[in-house]
Amino acid sequence: MSELHPNKPEFRNINAFVDLPTYRLPPAGWVSILHRISGAVMFLLLPLIIWMFDTSVSSEISFMKFKSAFVAGLWIFPGFVIQIVSLGLIWAFLHHLIAGLRHLYMDATHSVTKEFGRSSAIFVLTLSIGLTLVLGAKLFGLY
Amino acid sequence: MSVNFGSKRIVVGAHYGLRDWLAQRVTAALIALLTALILVQIIFSSGEIGYDTWASIFSAQWMKALTFATILALIYHVWVGMRDIWMDYIKPTGVRLFLQVFTIVWLLACAGWAIQVLWRL
């Protein structure tokens, strides 16, 4: 590799603080690392997700408690924090789902070309961010 | 004594990694299916989505059974994914073991809670 591209930097044992900010990822790389980050975020927030499931389905009274969390807050967190965290969860789920469907599609159809990797990655990023904005507008009461 | 780990590992059978790879896709498909079913029921409900509409989605027995199966699929899916993350980034064996045990306990506790919510509906 280095003989073919003498000026191309090699990344071995990369330093997270020095090399990562200057390393430009291709779209497929962004989809990949965001797939991982979104999964980890949902793993850590699983108790909040189940709390939402619990309060929203258990009874009329708990449903009101669920709704008021987005306005009056929950535990030590004010309402807007719950809204922002929920928006983060919406994005995490959408990205993870759409990027996962991309995986399944690539496995099923053996779509392994560089061009398909790039175009499908741009599709995933556009759709997940677009849907997050649409649902986020609903979450913040814009329509 | 020959080296029997890392790239020098003596491979004595097939299926290395295949089980996790396949399980990740099968469980993902199940989660996607449940998501689609919930979305369809929300989209085709009439009027404002209040408590009754939302809770009735999960109170049908077939939906409970499918949601139960999906909760189990979900914790298996998350286990495979989080284990990949720990194996990639956490090198000290002791820390990795601790995080893996924490992941299992965390997931089992969450699954128990979710199933309790589902089954008292």
Chain A positions touching B29 (Cβ under 8 A) are 104
| A33 vs B10: which has the higher pLDDT | A33
Residue A99 amino acid letter: A
pLDDT (0 to 100) of residue B58: 93
A138 at interface of B, judged by CB pairs closer than 8 A? no
CB contact under 8 A, A50 and B114: yes
Percent of chain B with pLDDT strictly greater than 70: 91
∠ CA(A104), CA(B77), CA(A14), 5° rounding?
80
Chain CA centroid to CA B6, Å? 28
At B72, the pLDDT band (50, 70, 90 cuts) reads very high
Task: Of A55-59, A115-119, B9-13, B40-44, give the lowest mean pLDDT range.
Answer: B9-13
Q: Judge whether residue B14 has pLDDT over 70.
A: no
Instruction: Return the residue matching tokens 């059978």.
Output: B13
pLDDT (0 to 100) of residue A141: 84
CB contact under 8 A, B28 and A104: yes
Q: Judge whether residue A3 has pLDDT over 90.
A: no
Identity of the residue in B25, B82, B85 whose CB atom sits nearest the CB atom of A104: B25
CB contact under 8 A, B117 and A54: yes
Chain B positions touching A43 (Cβ under 8 A) are 78, 81-82, 103, 106
Q: What does the alpha-carbon distance between residue B76 and residue B79 come to, in Å, rounded to a whole number?
A: 5
- Helix axes A46-58 and B93-119, enclosed angle (nearest 10): 10
**How confident is the model over B18-37, as pLDDT tens digits?**
888 999 999 999 999 999 99
In this predicted complex, what is the ipTM? 0.86
pLDDT (0 to 100) of residue A11: 64
Residue A74 amino acid letter: L
Chain A positions touching B120 (Cβ under 8 A) are 58
| Beta-carbon contacts of residue A38 (< 8 Å; ≥ 6 apart) | A91, A92, A93, A95, A96, A99
pLDDT (0 to 100) of residue A1: 46
Tokens of B105: 């306990």
Q: Judge whether residue B113 has pLDDT over 90.
A: yes
CB contact under 8 A, B110 and A40: no
**How confident is the model over A71-106, as pLDDT tens digits?**
998 889 998 999 999 999 999 999 999 999 999 999
CB contact under 8 A, A63 and B110: no
pLDDT (0 to 100) of residue B29: 96
pLDDT (0 to 100) of residue B11: 65
Please give the biggest Cα pair distance in chain B.
73
Identity of the residue in A43, A53, A60 whose CB atom sits nearest the CB atom of B82: A43
Q: Judge whether residue A26 has pLDDT over 80.
A: yes
A103 at interface of B, judged by CB pairs closer than 8 A? yes
| B121 vs A107: which has the higher pLDDT | A107
Interface test with A, best of B21, B37, B42, B51 (most A CBs within 10 A): B51
